[in-house]
Every structure is written in structure tokens, then in C-alpha cells.
Chain A
């Protein structure tokens, strides 16, 4: 092994010094976080807005840019009212130039600003594939540790609104392949707020995947600011027959399926991963120690999907606990169709999940 020249030293800090002024919040244990129960019922979109607005109030480096985010108040009204509060220099309408504005934001992040880039849909981020995949996640590495890229890309991901194949992308399988980025995919308003706040504080590029289908979902969301750490799954429902693992919107499909299965006496653990990079594999293994069976539900295509990765990790870390081969339920392996019934059949819907679980436990309908 070669030794370092005298003039060089090892980095001792937890956070890489290339990114300055990082304030990682003190994360609380799940039970110490503000309660999920309560009567402050707001929409998913409002929860996202609260996280952004609070971070913008306390940190001038944070700004939001994207198509229609300012004067139109957001194509999906996530940023409603933010122009009024923060003005046009911090809430910025862009032309339809994803490649251009995503790259520009990355340049700003290299200089230490904290951009939040809204893609009206992650489907449109494909136009910006080069900057978001080839620049942001690699900047720290490529520069030999000189430039970081503290940035958040966020927007709608996934099918369900009959938008057809160009507008229904699930980018998690594709993009999570890239080292250097983090990926959060909330399934409910409470987590959306806590995870987005964490994403904005994080010194690395965070890909934050929302769902147009969930923006109107309502739940109690605490008024106070709170942070949900990355890499910590949540047990959304407890059971002992089968472990259901998912993230984002299909967590709700799993909960629906689990409800139906419970009527037949099949109780499922439902694990909401919340982030898939980092992936809380320990919680998955803990669960299969109890259930010995696992179904992974993922709204990307099966080939090279997040589900494939989760199952590979389960085989690496929990193989001995399994009584049956792990099962994945993905979207059907075709481009997204427009017609309503076809689209429903295409999704990892509750019926398909329930069927997979029944087959796994050998139960009949």
C-alpha cells in the first residue's frame, strides 16, 4: 500500500468538506417523532409545500425552479402561494428546457446553493438525463472530492392517470442504478413532509419521487417541522404470514391487499421503505425472520427493477430465513397503455398483490 504524501491528509468529518454549511438535523426515533394521529388534515401537496417553505424561510440558499412553479402556482399546485411569500427570485418559472434548467441548477449547487428542481413529471426528466445522471451524482467523485452537488430533484412519478406511455414513467428502477444519488419515495403526506425536509438538508443529490395520483391524498400532518431519516423503513401494518415490501404509491396498494387478505386470516407485515437508496435491508430481514415469506411490490418494470435489487439483497442477507422463493409484483412488462382497464391491469394493483400472497401461502381464494 502506498502512503499519502506529507502534504495530504484523510478526511475525518462525517460530511465531506466539499459541501459546506451542511446542517444535518438531529433525527428522532420513530416513536419520538410528532404523532401521526391528529386532526390537522392536509393534502400531500400541502405537506410538500410546508417542507419546502420552512426550509426556504430558514436558509436563503434554498430556491425552487421549474415549469409553472411561480405565477401559475404550480402545474399541480404544490408551490401554491410560494411566489407571494418568496418572490420571483427564489420561486422561478423556467422555459420548457429541462436539460438547460436542470444543468443550470447543478452548476448553482456546485457553488453551494441548495436548488430544488421541480420536474412537472419525472417523465420529462428524461430530456435532462445527461445533467441529472451524468453530472449531479458524479460531481464529487469526478472532481476528486472538490465539488459536491447538494440538490433536490422532485416531481411526479408513475402511471395511473391514463397519461399514456410517454408520461407515465417510473424512473426509480432506471435512476437508482446510479451511484452518488439518493432516492426518496414517500407513500403518504406525513412522510412526504419529513422526508422532503431531510432531502433539502442532505448534502448529496436527492431524487424525490412523488405521485400525481397521491397529491390530493389527505392525512394528519403536524404543523411543526420534523425530519425523517433516510434509510429507515416504516412498518405500516403488522402480520406474521407474509412480508410485503414496497415504496411510494404501491404501499397503499399493499395496505389495501393486506386488508382484504386479513379477512381470510392472512396477516401481512407491510414495510414502507420510504427511501430506496439508502435501502433499509435490516428491517426487511427482521421481518422475514418472522414471516419467512416475502413479496416485493414495485411500480417499475420487472427487468432490472428496484424489486429485483431488493430480492437480490434479501438472498444475500436473509436467504436462510426464507421458506419459499421471494416473489415480485411489478407493473406488466410493456409500455404504459392509455385505455383505463388496460392501465389498471398493468399496475401492481391490490388484486395482483393479493393473488401473489395467496399463491405464496398456498391458500385458495
Chain B
């Protein structure tokens, strides 16, 4: 069998998407502000020990999830790493389900079994939150493989519904590009023409290690995608309008041509790596420099300059979001913890006898999202 040529798609020279509508921009502003507010409350709740385990907030990176997810269809698959609250919310998970998960409540998106790093939302095509660095990258290839297989081979979805041409978005941090699994995935998807777009949310740090100390040729990440024959893009992830204009046509090209993508999406995180990071590896000046380019403030002021948002509108939008998040916190607070019997549920789809020397597995509560 001869191998499919690594055909290049033409996102970079295709005409840029025209200016997004005001309506769309207002939606983005709202979505980004929701994440910002949500994460601020998450950090508070963590400090009050209402949230446990590892918790990584998305503050500063909001435009990445909102702009890229805003460029795909509602039923395109999405998968990400452990810094996943922003993607979950951008994908449409309710703040209640997300917060309740971190509170370890039965109403959480994973019934309190997953925690902050493992946000899953089946109705919204979110295939996780994954805690092991790089683990999601071959999975992302698999999600795209399945959609392509349904479309090309089965001509319908596994549930019998119409198969569409889909694009999968798979997010990873700059630290994750050093994992072998990612390189294996890149090679595979290029050779097999699998339409998954790897979005590197390049915030310049892998925990406390600056990018130039952890990866080779760090100033030119897209050369890595290109070396696998993947047409690759570098995008400013702090300006959501520009992000959208560059990314949207790229998505459509990957979808049409069934080709993978590789995007170096440059961004910055305002908080520490996790909730327990003294951040000695960077200066406050550096953080302030990026805060001055804040993506939310930038979009808000653009909308005000164009007369599409008044100071009062913006204030009342912020207030409405604050109320929404506060009521999500309250709902999480009030929700019950999982029954102890939930410990032994969801382990097997077919819990037969004698699977364990100790435990008889059962099915528990139906996931609240289903």
C-alpha cells in the first residue's frame, strides 16, 4: 500500500476570516470573564480548603480556550490537560458542575471522583481533563480517528446518526511537547491524515522551568510540527480577535482536507503553576507586563471604543457573571458528598462475579450531566 502524501493545506494563504460580529465578540467577552471570575473563586475556595488535591487555574489564558473553541462546532471533540476549568466552561459545562466537582460533590461532572484535573463533559464533547503530562495527545488522535472512521468507513456515527467531517482540538502545555507520546502522535496523525489540531498553550513555563531551559529550539516551536509535514501556525493568544481570524480558517482547512494541525498559541498564566507555587522563577515585572496586555481588558476596551459596549454594560455584565459564579459556589457547597457506596461504582461496565478478591462492584448514580 502506498502512503498518502503529506498534503499541505493552505490555511496561511487562504483569505483571513473577516471581522467577527459584535454579537460574537460580546459572547467572548462574557465567556472569558466567566472563566476569570470562576478561577478567582476557585483559588479562594482552594485557600479555604474547600477544594483539595492539585488545582491549576487558567487565569490569563482565557482567550485561548474561548477563541479556539469558538472556532469549532458544538459537536467537535475537545480534549485537554489538567489546567482544564477554562476549557470545560468554554465548552459549555455549567459552573455548578465544574465547581461541584472540585468540591468533591456528587453533582460534579465526574460525581466527585475526578477532581480539578479531570473534567469530563460527554454532552459537550469534552473528553477530559488529563493529569499525566502528554497523555491526552494520543487520545486526541484517537478522537479524530474515530470521527474520520465514522465518516469515511461507516458513513454514519456509532449511534446511527449522521457522520460529519469533524475536527478535534487537543490542548497541551509547552512542557508537554517534550513528551515522547506527543511526537508519536504527531507522526501518526500526519502519516494517516487524521484531523486533530494540537494547540500548544505556550505560557512560557513548564512548572518552574522556562521554555528555553526545557525544550530545544524553543523560539521556533512550529518547526517541530513542520518537521512532521504538518502545516503549522504561530498565533498571539492574548488577542482573541486576531486569534479567531487566524485560527478559524485553519480549522476549516483541517476539516476539509482531513489534515492535522499544530498551533503555537502564545499566552501567559498570571497565577502560579498550581495553588502551591511560590513563583521564584519569574519576576513580578514580567507578570505585570503581561497583565498590561490582558485579553479581557483589551476586548472590553475595543468594544467600548467601537461603541458596542458602555461602561455600565460592562459593569453589569461583570456583576451578572459574579452572581452566576457565586450561586454556583453556593450550589456546590449545598450539594451532598457521594455516598460511600459510590466508591465501588463505575469500575466495570459489566461487573461480573469474582472480579475482585474483596469487592462486589455495582452501578451507582447516573452521571448528572447525562
Contact = CB atoms under 8 A, between A and B. Distances in A.
A162 B340 contact: no
A67 B273 CA distance: 14
Contact of B113 (A124, A161, A163, A339): A339
A162 B115 contact: yes
A109 B180 CA distance: 22
A327 to B, nearest CB: 11
Given A162-B53, A341-B340, A346-B343, A99 B180 contact: yes
B130 A339 contact: no
A145 B153 CA distance: 52
Interface string B101-122: 1001100001011110110000
A161 B55 CA distance: 12
B328 to A, nearest CB: 18
A168 B291 CA distance: 35
Contact of A162 (B52, B135, B280, B344): B52
A211 to B, nearest CB: 15
Contacts of A71: 208-209, 213, 281
A95 B130 contact: no
Given A96-B134, A96-B175, A96-B176, A338 B114 contact: yes
B54 interface: yes
B269 to A, nearest CB: 16
Interface stretch (B18-26, B29-37, B251-259, B352-360): B352-360
Q: Which of B53, B112, B280 has the most CB of A within 10 A?
A: B53
Contact of A333 (B101, B135, B178, B357): B357
Interface in A311-348: 330, 332-335, 337-342, 345-346
Contact of B214 (A95, A167, A303): A95
Contact of A127 (B104, B134, B340): B134
Given A75-B207, A341-B340, A332 B130 contact: no
A342 B54 CA distance: 17
B54 A330 contact: no
B338 A342 contact: yes
Which secondary structure dominates where chain B touches chain A? loop
Contact of B213 (A93, A99, A124): A93
B287 interface: no
A161 B357 contact: no
A97 interface: yes
B43 interface: no
A107 interface: no
Contacts of B118: 164-166, 338
A339 B338 contact: yes
A141 interface: no
Contact of B104 (A97, A161, A339): A339
A162 B276 CA distance: 14
Contact of B178 (A95, A162, A345): A95
Nearest to B348: A334
A167 B134 contact: no
A124 B132 contact: yes
B55 to A, nearest CB: 10
A333 B342 contact: no
A303 B338 CA distance: 25
A332 B359 CA distance: 7
A171 B118 CA distance: 21
B362 to A, nearest CB: 11
A72 interface: yes
B131 A166 contact: yes
B299 to A, nearest CB: 32
Given A72-B207, A341-B340, A161 B132 contact: no
B157 to A, nearest CB: 29
Contact of A163 (B53, B214, B359): B53
A297 B185 CA distance: 41
Contact of A68 (B207, B343, B361): B207
Which secondary structure dominates where chain A touches chain B? loop
A67 B342 CA distance: 35
A303 B131 CA distance: 25
Contact of A338 (B115, B206, B347): B115
B343 A93 contact: no
A161 B213 contact: no
A72 B113 contact: no
Contacts of B135: 166
A164 B117 contact: yes
Nearest to A329: B358
B43 to A, nearest CB: 17
B208 A302 contact: no
B300 to A, nearest CB: 35
B213 A340 contact: no
Contacts of B133: 96, 124
Contacts of A162: 52-53, 104, 115
A123 interface: yes
A17 interface: no
Contacts of A167: 53-54, 117, 131
Interface string A156-180: 0000011111110000000000000
Interface in A90-128: 93, 95-97, 99-100, 123-124, 126-127
Contacts of B280: 72
B53 A342 contact: no
B317 interface: no
A95 B175 contact: yes
Interface in A270-302: 302
B179 interface: yes
Interface string B329-370: 000000001101011100100000000111101000000000
B199 to A, nearest CB: 17
Contacts of A95: 175, 178, 206, 209, 214-215
B213 A342 contact: no
B181 interface: yes
Given A338-B101, A342-B338, 11 more contacts: A68-B207, A72-B208, A93-B209, A100-B178, A100-B180, A127-B132, A163-B54, A166-B135, A330-B358, A338-B118, A340-B52
9 contacts: A71-B281, A100-B180, A163-B117, A165-B113, A166-B131, A333-B358, A337-B112, A338-B113, A342-B113
Interface of B: 52-54, 101, 104-105, 110, 112-115, 117-118, 130-135, 175-176, 178-181, 206-209, 213-215, 280-281, 337-338, 340, 342-344, 347, 356-359, 361
**Which 7 residue pairs spanning A and B have beta carbons closest together?**
A338-B115, A339-B104, A162-B52, A95-B178, A162-B53, A339-B112, A72-B208
